[in-house]
Structure 1
Amino acid sequence: MQAFTCICQRAALRHLSWIELPRPLTAGTEPAGHARVGYARASTKRQSLDTQLDALTAAGVTRVFAEKISTRATRRPELDAAVALCRELRASGVAVTLVVHEHKRLGRALDLATLAEQLKASEIGLQFLTGELQGSHDPAGVVFTVLAALSGMEREYIRDRTLEGHESARSRGKTIGGANVTDPDMLTMAIHLRDQQLSLRDIATRLVITTGTKKGRHPSPATVMRMLRDHDEQPPQTR
């Protein structure tokens, strides 16, 4: 009886249909497909996104993140969401390219350089449909390398220029930032924390007011925003 059972089991195994389960992504594995994620931005509510959206659609982009927000904004929710999706897709083994109508839609030079560093770290490509940087750029390509270098140079330049401006302001007894609760030391720290990609709220919690009726308290995020904005808008020779 036991021998008969073994024979039946072997016969059943011959008729089984085996299905290979998905294998985990390993280093050196070729990407499984290519995804293209689009991003569009207008600086004001009155500006239309139609031209950008039409161009992205014509380029074969089916998933687009769009927003109307100023170039001066320190955080762009839809751009953050687009990059997050790109990272998620890339982590699953898919080759990913972030597609934008023109590089200016990503913000100022420093914003673009910072974003390029983030995309390169995640092995995400970048494509501009028009403008001076038109074309597809691989994260290992020369454009990413140049943008990363410019980012580092710009940060060092801003830091050195700020410190020089502080010395000049102190000699004249001038308060930087236009608000009674701010001072040159606070601005220096705020710029340093902004370079670390902290939010306005996080920056505010790390600063302390040293004079006046609010001494010992933290400035509000709005005060930090005004202080940084006033600094950025000052002509280079007056900083």
Structure 2
Amino acid sequence: MIIGYARVSKNDQHLDRQIDRLKKEGCERIYQEKVSGAGKIRPELDRMLDALREGDTVIVCELTRLGRSVKELFMLAERIGATGADLRSIKEPWLDTTTPQGKLLFAVFSGVSQFERDIIRERTLEGLESARARGRKGGRPKADAGRIELAMKLYDSRACPVSDILKASGISKATLYAYLKDRESTEKGT
């Protein structure tokens, strides 16, 4: 089945141009929505991805309708490919996984994208190592010992609810429970 996906960012924009182009390409079903590409919630895109079957072809007028970042586009293209479906962009003819050349170009671009992620990771690790060599440590600073002690005493007294303990001590719920868990495992000797 040839499936189209059309999206505009705002309610006052129109999908007509995209729908006309997708129909011209032979789309039998067109998923359409009016939501920002920056948002994580795109129900029609999710419905389309869930409905894909092996042999289907997804057509978009241009890649920006599918995703806003290279990373997001590659993730979506890989998800489409994992179902056995293909992806084609009208505006970017190099992206056509129905052809051997399109698959090759997508593989090259995917490789470049992975290379970029690996380089960023490598630089991050080098930066952390350099910072440690200078005596700096990453992560969140430890909570104030006095605040932790107050929170633990209040918790052990069972005199007030956790919400009041958090307000009085100024620590977060996650911090309180992390210290309680740590104390419990220390008492058990594990």
For Structure 1 versus Structure 2, the TM-score category normalised by the shorter chain is: 0.5 to 0.7
In the TM superposition, residue 165 of structure 1 has moved relative to its aligned partner by: 7.2
Once superposed, which parts of structure 1, at least 4 consecutive aligned residues long, lie more than 6 Å away? Answer: 164-171
1:40 paired residue number: 6
Structure that is richer in helix per residue: 2
Structure 2 gap segments, 5+ residues each: 141-168, 176-190
Query: Secondary structure of 2:115's partner?
Result: helix
Residue of structure 1 aligned with 2:37, choices 66, 71, 80: 71
**1:216 equivalenced with 2:174 (yes/no):** yes
2:90 paired residue number: 129
Query: Secondary structure of 1:110's partner?
Result: helix
Percent identity between the two aligned chains:
37
Does the CA-based 8 Å contact 1:124-1:139 persist in structure 2?
Answer: no
1:102-113 mapped onto 2 (5 Å cutoff)? 102-107=62-67, 108-113=69-74
2:182 paired residue number: none
In the TM superposition, residue 153 of structure 1 has moved relative to its aligned partner by: 2.6
Letter in 1 for 2:171: T
* Number of equivalences: 141
Letter in 1 for 2:24: A
Letter in 2 for 1:42: V
In the TM superposition, residue 47 of structure 1 has moved relative to its aligned partner by: 2.3
1:78-89 mapped onto 2 (5 Å cutoff)? 78-86=44-52, 89=53
Structure 1 gap segments, 5+ residues each: 1-34, 174-183, 187-210, 218-239
In the TM superposition, residue 139 of structure 1 has moved relative to its aligned partner by: 7.6
1:150 paired residue number: 112
Does the CA-based 8 Å contact 1:102-1:134 persist in structure 2?
Answer: no
Query: Secondary structure of 1:136's partner?
Result: coil
In the TM superposition, residue 72 of structure 1 has moved relative to its aligned partner by: 1.9
Q: TM-score if structure 1 supplies the norm length?
A: 0.48
Does the CA-based 8 Å contact 1:127-1:135 persist in structure 2?
Answer: yes
Does the CA-based 8 Å contact 2:95-2:106 persist in structure 1?
Answer: no
In the TM superposition, residue 116 of structure 1 has moved relative to its aligned partner by: 1.9
Residue of structure 1 aligned with 2:26, choices 53, 60, 72: 60
Q: TM-score if structure 2 supplies the norm length?
A: 0.59
Tell me how large the CA RMSD over aligned residues is: 3.3
